[in-house]
Amino acid sequence: MPSRFRQKLSTISNRYRSHLLIGSSTFIYPDLGSASAIRLISFTTRSRRSALEFDLVTFELGSLPPFTALSYTWGSPFPSDEAHEVWNEPNHLAFCNQQPIAIRKNLYDALQHIRTREHEPAWIWVDAVCINQADDEERTSQVEMMSDIYGTADLVLAWLGPEDEASRRAHNMLNTFGRGIFKMAAREGWDKVDQYGPKSLELVEELGHCLPQDADWSAWNEFFQRNWFRRTWILQEASLAKNLRLVSGQHVFVFDEIHALDAYSEHAPWWPMKAPNNSGEDLPSAVINPIALTRSMINGMLQRSRSVRILEDHHGSINQGMLLLLVLALARKLSSSDPRDKVYGNLGIAKKILGVGFDDAALPPDYNIAVADLYIHTASYILTTTPILSLLSHVEDAETPKPSTLPSWVPDLTVRHTTGRLRLGDTANIFEDDKPLYRAYISGSSLIETRSIANIILFVNGYCLGTVSEVATGDSLSTPEKFISQINLLSKLPHMYLNGQSTFEAYWRTYMGDFARSRLKNANQEDIPSSFIAMIIHGLLCWFDDRPIGDMRRQLELILQHLANIDSNFSQHLRSLGVASLDLLIQDIPAFVSYCLDCDSRKNLRIALKEAAESLYPFLRFGRLQLFRTENEYLGLGPRSSRPDDQVWVFEQARVPFILRAIPDSEHFHLVGECYVHGVMQGELVDKIKFKRIGLA
């Protein structure tokens, strides 16, 4: 870099280190002129040998030239913390309208990439430069137009950061193996391609020169952990784009080929449990874990794209409040540098879906508003415009620290993960109103009758179902200690549950949230209790591999005896599994435990039980919820922070019950979270209870 550039850069950087773009006192923005105008930049030269220079020109939105909209991360494109400091400082010099400006490294790299590609549109829109970030009024106005900008752009270029070894391997893998899979599927159909293992004869003959190795899958995972895939704004930018291109350095990733490779990995029967040589041996965790993480990341992108299309297809049957809630839920796991963008960054999708029916005045972008006030306003708008109290199911567990300025009924959108949601993540389920999974109490009452908000207190019609008397010390069957705690809790319930089912049936249905009730339509539900027992024994045998023999004998005997005590059909359920060694368990529990102490015997039994156990894995959605019972003998699953003396309430116009906690010296309650209570989830209490008005603070 010439010395005069270094001097200017040093001066700018030292003076404006907290800003992406130097302040308007140094750089004079051309006036927008109207509320429908935006600015675009155009490079004065496309040679990397010269300084990065561009002109900034104002256009009306209705008369834009062909242009590229840039999608990128303001800070580091990499998730590693140690890289952030290098990327967050505005220490790269550029010239806008012949005036020096300081920009961050990732934007500098992206603009350098674009300007050397002469076949790209001559004009570019990039938020950090085209919007005066120091002017909150302009920033607010321009954010309202961003859905139009990304939807109008001839190309949306997603800059993922510079290339590295991971991106090079991922790009090569996609352009060879991914493209080959895509072509094979187009020729033979997915049903046939899905049957091929990753090194099957068919794939070797067709794609032998490009079959990925373990290192390729690891690189694939590393690449898809980049920060761009976690940005809140990508939901809008990618879903509204007419033409989306993912770029890392000089590598271009075609999204259809990413989708094809993901579709193959999703449906192939070997994935991800078998080794590439089809030997039947388990893959090492170092390979399985990256593959699983990558599939989760890609699936997140694809699922959000599919969900947006589903919302578009159903726009006639959904109002703006419910639509906004669904879009916020889709973006919940994404990140934003400004917490207000968790709302504003998703308004464009709702606006595109509803079209002329979108009310711009409902939640106008305002970057002067406090984050807590925005979240309260957003929650209030959703609650007062949607018929069902779905918003309360999106509140994070009370164990998560929450700003004191947020009421307990308002979701903290900065918390990326909500644990133990009962409402499923599949957006399509919201339209199955004729057969929803849960319908604890849905009536024909109007919104005005069922809820109101005053002084940030949410008033609802509710009925107290009971008080929590015991919470199991563990949220899954992952350890013997947790399982013993759950069994002890169950032993205090009557042998016959409130609805006439056995306690064991109430247990397995509760543990799965009775999810299999409506989702195992083509399977014999009589097999579920046997599979549930198989899952328990299989999990314990796997866990006991690392336990001292003495602990193993004592705990396994105790657990199996408890299980036999609460399941009156224990022997029948074991026999239906068709595993010979389980006959010993039926006859003599201590003898069976002695059999399990042998490593080979334990391994063989695990293999025999694996298929039955894994048949229930898709339905175990609530592993982070706590098993609880009430003083009036209800059994349920609640948030991790549930504790004795909490209360279980059913609200009018709510599909699920909720755990509440009384506020000392107050008539109001804190919302702890939603819960599953066996025997009330299908409207069993409708017409049997009388509501009273309560307040949630």
Residue 355 in any domain: the answer is: yes
Cis peptide before 90 (omega within 30 of 0): no
* Burial category of 614 from C-beta neighbours within 10 Å (exposed 0-12, middle 13-18, buried 19 and up): middle
Indicate whether 540 and 560 sit together in one domain.
yes
Residues 135-191: tens digit of each pLDDT? 989 998 999 899 899 999 999 999 999 999 999 998 988 888 777 777 777 787 766
Please report the pLDDT score of residue 125 as a whole number: 98
User: Do 55 and 135 fall into the same domain?
Assistant: yes
Residues 185 and 260 in one domain: yes
Q: 388 and 451 in contact (C-beta within 8 Å)?
A: no
Percent of the chain past pLDDT 90, that is, above it, reads: 42
Query: For the segment 219-238, what is each residue's pLDDT rounded down to a tens digit?
Result: 877 888 889 988 888 878 87
pLDDT in tens, 626-660: 999 999 999 999 998 999 999 999 999 999 999 99
Strand partners, 496: 502
At residue 329, the pLDDT reads 85
The pLDDT score that the predictor gives to residue 293 is 37
- The residue that leads in pLDDT, 458 or 120, is 458
**Residue 460: pLDDT band with limits 50, 70, 90:** very high
Residues 153 and 178 in one domain: no
* Higher pLDDT among residues 276 and 71, named by residue: 71
Which residues fall within 8 angstroms of residue 230, CB to CB, at 6 or more apart?
A: 79, 333, 334, 335
Domain that holds residue 378: 317-428
Has residue 687 been placed in a domain?
A: no
Q: Quote the crossing angle between the two packed helices 503-511 and 480-490, to the nearest 10°.
A: 130
Residue 628 lies in a domain: no
Chosen domain end from 578, 602, 619: 619
Q: Does 183 lie in the same domain as 260?
A: yes
Q: 10 and 150 share a domain?
A: yes
What strands, in cross-sheet order, belong to the sheet with 53-60?
99-103, 92-96, 53-60, 37-43, 123-125, 67-71, 155-159, 244-248, 251-253
Whether residues 321 and 299 share a domain: the answer is no
Any domain includes 397? yes
Burial of 447 (0-12, 13-18, 19+ CB in 10 A): middle
Q: Please check whether residue 686 lies inside any domain of the structure.
A: no
The model's confidence at residue 298, banded by pLDDT at 50, 70 and 90, is very low
* Exposure letters 534-545 (e unless 16+ CB within 10 A, then b): bbbbbbbbbbbe
More confident residue, 13 or 611: 611
Cβ neighbour number for residue 675 with a 10 Å cutoff: 25
Looking at the structure, do residues 271 and 322 belong to the same domain, yes or no? no
Query: Which residue do the tokens 């970057």 mark?
Result: 367
Mean pLDDT is lowest, of 80-94, 294-308, 582-596, 664-678, for 294-308
Task: Using the 3D structure, point to which of 619, 652, 672 is the last residue of a domain.
Answer: 619
**537-551 pLDDT tens trace:** 988 888 877 778 887
pLDDT of residue 542: 82
pLDDT, average across residues 599-608: 91
pLDDT band at 677 (very low <50, low <70, confident <90, very high): very high
Kindly state whether residues 279 and 366 are assigned to the same domain: no
Tell me which DSSP letter residue 176 carries.
I
Backbone angles phi, psi at 414, to 5 degrees: -75, -15
pLDDT tens digits for range 381-439: 999 888 889 899 999 888 888 898 999 999 999 997 665 566 533 333 444 444 567 88
Residue 231 pLDDT? 87
Q: Evaluate whether residue 446 is within a structural domain.
A: no
DSSP assignment of 536-575? HHHHHHHHGGGS-HHHHHHHHHHHHHHHHHH-TTHHHHHH
Residue that has been written with the tokens 């705690």 in this structure: 485
Is the model more confident about 314 or about 274?
314
Backbone dihedral region for residue 131 (phi beyond 0: left; psi -120 to 50: alpha; all else: beta): beta
Residue 570 included in any domain? yes
Residue 33 covered by a domain: yes
Q: Are residues 332 and 196 in the same domain?
A: no
What dihedral do alpha carbons 312, 314, 318, 321 form, nearest 10°? -30
Tokens of 225: 């952990």
Q: Which two tokens stand for residue 173?
A: 């893998």
Mean pLDDT of 56-65: 96
Q: pLDDT tens for residues 353-379?
A: 777 667 878 889 999 999 999 999 999
When pLDDT is averaged across residues 325-339 and rounded to a whole number, the result is: 86
Report percent pLDDT > 70 for the chain: 77
pLDDT band for position 130 (50/70/90)?
A: very high
Q: Which of 97, 125, 159 is the last residue before a domain boundary?
A: 159
Q: Do 151 and 170 sit in the same domain of this protein? A: no
Spatial neighbors of 42 by CB under 8 A, at least 6 apart, are 54, 55, 57, 122, 123, 124
Domain count for the chain, please give it: 4
Quick one: 142 and 279 in the same domain?
A: no
Q: What is the pLDDT of residue 265?
A: 60
N-term to C-term CA, the chain: 59
pLDDT band at 312 (very low <50, low <70, confident <90, very high): low
Please give the residue that has the higher pLDDT: either 656 or 481: 656
